[in-house]
Amino acid sequence: MTKKRDILIDDTKFSTTKGPWFGELPVPEGGDYDFAFISDRTGGAVHEMFEKGLEAAKRLNPDFIVSIGDLVEGYWTDEAEAHGEWDRIDPLLAGLGVPVFQTVGNHDYGTEAMIRVWRERKGIDYYAFRYDRTLFLVANTETAPLSLPEAMLELMQQANRELIRNPQALFMDLMRDLAGDNVPAEAWKMTEDTLIDPHLSEEQIDFFERVLADNADVDWTFVCLHQPAWKKPDPVFERLERLLAERPYTVVSGHVHYLEVTEKRGRQYIQMGKTGGLHCFEGPGDIHHILSVKMRGGVPQFEVILLEGEGGTQTLDAYVKKTADTGGIGAEKTGM
CATH of the domain at 184: 3.60.21.10
274's torsion region: left (phi>0), alpha (psi -120 to 50) or beta? beta
Helices 150-165, 79-94: inter-axial angle, 10-degree rounding: 50
The neighbouring-strand residues paired with 5 are: 131
Q: In 186-225, at which residue ranges do the beta strands (DSSP E only) sit?
A: 189-190, 220-224
Amino acid at 216: A
The dihedral built from the CA positions of residue 84, 85, 90 and 95, taken in this order, carries a sign that is positive
Closest alpha carbon to 209 in 245, 178, 257, 185: 245
Pairing of strands 134-138, 220-224: parallel
Total domain count for the chain? 1
Looking from the CA of 87 toward its CB, the CA atoms found within 13 Å total 7
What whole-number distance in Å separates Cα of residue 148 and Cα of residue 157? 12
* Average pLDDT for runs of 10 along the chain of length 336: 82 94 93 96 90 97 98 96 97 97 96 96 98 97 86 90 88 83 65 90 98 97 98 96 97 97 95 94 95 97 95 94 48 37
Q: In 161-226, at which residue ranges do the beta strands (DSSP E only) sit?
A: 189-190, 220-224
Residue 314 domain-assigned (yes or no): yes
Cβ pair 102, 124 in contact under 8 A:
no
The dihedral built from the CA positions of residue 70, 71, 75 and 77, taken in this order, carries a sign that is negative
Amino acid at 269: Y
The CA distances from residue 45 to 28, 29, 149, 159, 222, in Å, are: 35, 37, 23, 12, 27
Residue 76 domain-assigned (yes or no): yes
Domain extent, residue 214, equals: 5-321
What whole-number distance in Å separates Cα of residue 176 and Cα of residue 179? 5
Residue 150 domain-assigned (yes or no): yes
Residue 109 domain-assigned (yes or no): yes
3-state SS string for 91-137: HHHHCCCCCEEECCCHHHHCCHHHHHHHHHHHCCCCEEEEECCEEEE
Residue 332 domain-assigned (yes or no): no
What whole-number distance in Å separates Cα of residue 136 and Cα of residue 208? 10
Cβ pair 77, 152 in contact under 8 A:
no
What whole-number distance in Å separates Cα of residue 195 and Cα of residue 53? 24
Residue 327 domain-assigned (yes or no): no
* pLDDT for the residue 336: 36
* pLDDT for the residue 152: 85
* pLDDT for the residue 2: 54
Residue 233 domain-assigned (yes or no): yes
Looking from the CA of 181 toward its CB, the CA atoms found within 13 Å total 0
Phi and psi torsions of 158, nearest 5° = -60, -45
Pairing of strands 127-131, 134-138: antiparallel
Residue 330 domain-assigned (yes or no): no
